[in-house]
């Protein structure tokens, strides 16, 4: 991984493009100008997050790989490769019948507890632990599901669907888009069979995120919007899980709209999310998905950053309080948005301090994020020594 991280962003783009794709072909595939690709490979100028998303999508990789935060799979750390392999085996073996060798699967209550541990491991960013738990739940759960009936089968179906969804989200964070889609395909089938509209709606939120990370931004918006319309609640008498799913989908649509610079749509979706959060009155979780006033407020900061409204983002952040119950990953993803806004406002020391907070709080997770690289490069324009110090503190390469 260190060799890959030592390359400049331009050299990484060129290496990922290879000899089979010309600069012009990459530009056309990404929907950017030929001049932008030339400048990117020559490390002239700074790429926007939007351009990085488009280039990563055309190169069929993750932004974190382009920025050197995460190496191509062959350059992953041993632990990460092992986690990816376990996730892949669990997702594919369970879907293809590899669970038939499980002699005595755990009981429904035991699998339910294991699923709760899956959720906790995901929100801590503990991918090694998560991959082991996912394997247990999917293989043993499928073995029991095959012979279950009635209420037990319904409960197992929902539990399995949610576990596949966590596997999908983790795979996406680890840069494994195809594995993420495979896991989500199984999740959606089980959710549909369960007849649980809320669970099915939450699957579409994850699908929207996959499309967003794949630079298919219009599709990301459409998926979230259509799913939200199907589950749109009557705010005066809606069940709380339905409100949560609707609010989460509105956030997904708002985030995707902000990534294409559509401030009008982003604001409209965000206002609907705030309305759902207000109706809930507090933060809640359903099937491991969190939503409420905290999510609406923190996501608003990231949306403002994506739209280039950095002053607005910092104003919102100043009014946002993070409760102790906020999941670690959500908290640190929000802090990265704040650090990016701080950079854009010229508050480089504060941005560096925020980045250190994130790196020390979630060391395993932060290695697979793209934003630290973006933030590090901006701070490096002021002080390369400061960035190298941050890199040493958090164990993440930020500059070449």
Report mean pLDDT in 10-residue bins for the chain, 400 residues. Answer: 71 83 87 91 84 81 73 63 90 86 88 96 94 96 93 94 97 89 96 93 96 88 96 82 96 95 96 96 94 97 94 96 94 96 94 95 85 88 90 80
User: What pLDDT sits at residue 161?
Assistant: 97
Domain over 2-66 is classified CATH 1.10.260.40: yes
Q: Which two tokens stand for residue 228?
A: 């939200």
Task: Find all residues with CB under 8 Å of 359, minimum gap 6, and list them.
Answer: 366, 372, 390, 393, 394, 395, 396
Q: Which two tokens stand for residue 45?
A: 């100028």
Neighbours of 344 (CB within 10 A): 18
- The three-state secondary structure class of 67 is coil
- Cα–Cα distance for residue pair 255/5, rounded to 1 Å: 28
- Cα–Cα distance for residue pair 211/221, rounded to 1 Å: 9
What is the Cα gyration radius of the chain? 21
User: What pLDDT sits at residue 233?
Assistant: 83
Catalogue the long-range contacts made by 237-242 (C-beta closer than 8 Å, 24 or more residues apart): 238/279, 240/280, 240/284, 241/198, 241/286, 242/197, 242/198
Q: Is this model's pTM higher than 0.85 or not? A: no
Q: What is the pLDDT of residues 104-130, one digit of tens each?
A: 899 999 999 999 999 999 999 999 999
SS (H, E, C) 369-397: CCHHHHHHHHHHCCCHHHHHHHHHHHCCC
- Cα–Cα distance for residue pair 132/140, rounded to 1 Å: 12
Neighbours of 48 (CB within 10 A): 13
Closest CA to 209 of 163, 164, 259: 259
Contact 162, 288 (CB under 8 A): yes
Question: Where in the chain are all domains bearing CATH 1.10.260.40?
Answer: 2-66
User: What pLDDT sits at residue 74?
Assistant: 46
Contact 220, 211 (CB under 8 A): yes
User: What pLDDT sits at residue 17?
Assistant: 84
User: What pLDDT sits at residue 177?
Assistant: 86
CA distances to 20, 77, 82, 144, 210 from 73, rounded to whole Å, are: 20, 9, 11, 33, 18
Q: What is the pLDDT of residues 277-300, one digit of tens each?
A: 999 999 999 999 999 999 999 999
Q: Which residue has the tokens 């899980």?
A: 241
Q: Which residue has the tokens 């790989």?
A: 65
CA distances to 228, 335, 374 from 309, rounded to whole Å, are: 26, 16, 17
Neighbours of 132 (CB within 10 A): 19
- Cα–Cα distance for residue pair 339/358, rounded to 1 Å: 10
């Amino acid at each position: 991984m260190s060799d890959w991280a030592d390359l400049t962003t331009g050299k990484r783009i060129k290496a990922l493009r290879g000899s089979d794709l010309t600069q012009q072909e990459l530009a056309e595939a990404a929907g950017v100008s030929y001049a932008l690709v030339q400048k990117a490979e020559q490390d002239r100028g700074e790429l926007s997050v939007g351009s990085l998303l488009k280039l990563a999508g055309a190169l069929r990789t993750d932004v974190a790989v382009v920025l050197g935060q995460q190496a191509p799979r062959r350059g992953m750390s041993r632990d990460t490769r092992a986690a990816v392999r376990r996730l892949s085996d669990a997702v594919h073996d369970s879907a293809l019948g590899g669970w038939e060798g499980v002699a005595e699967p755990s009981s429904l209550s035991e699998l339910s507890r294991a699923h709760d541990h899956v959720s906790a491991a995901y929100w801590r960013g503990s991918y090694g632990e998560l991959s082991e738990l996912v394997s247990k739940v999917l293989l043993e759960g499928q073995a029991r599901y095959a012979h279950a009936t009635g209420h037990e089968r319904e409960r197992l179906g929902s539990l399995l669907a949610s576990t596949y969804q966590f596997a999908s989200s983790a795979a996406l964070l680890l840069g494994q888009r195809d594995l993420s889609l495979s896991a989500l395909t199984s999740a959606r089938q089980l959710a549909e069979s369960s007849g649980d509209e809320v669970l099915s709606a939450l699957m579409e939120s994850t699908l929207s995120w996959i499309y967003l990370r794949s630079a298919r931004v219009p599709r990301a918006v459409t998926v979230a919007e259509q799913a939200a319309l199907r589950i749109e609640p009557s705010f005066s008498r809606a069940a709380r899980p339905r409100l949560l799913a609707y609010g989460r989908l509105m956030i997904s649509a708002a985030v995707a709209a902000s990534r294409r610079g559509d401030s009008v749509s982003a604001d409209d979706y965000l206002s609907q999310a705030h309305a759902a959060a207000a109706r809930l009155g507090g933060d809640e979780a359903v099937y491991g998905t969190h939503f409420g006033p905290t999510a609406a407020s923190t996501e608003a900061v990231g949306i403002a950053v994506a739209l280039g409204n950095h002053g607005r983002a910092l104003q919102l952040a100043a009014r946002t309080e993070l409760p102790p119950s906020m999941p670690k990953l959500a908290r640190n993803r929000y802090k990265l948005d704040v650090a990016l806004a701080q950079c854009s406002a010229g508050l480089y020391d504060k941005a560096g301090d925020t980045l250190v907070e994130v790196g020390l709080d979630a060391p395993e997770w932060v290695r697979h994020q793209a934003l630290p690289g973006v933030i590090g490069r901006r701070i490096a324009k002021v002080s390369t020594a400061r960035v190298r110090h941050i890199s040493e503190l958090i164990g993440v390469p930020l500059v070449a």
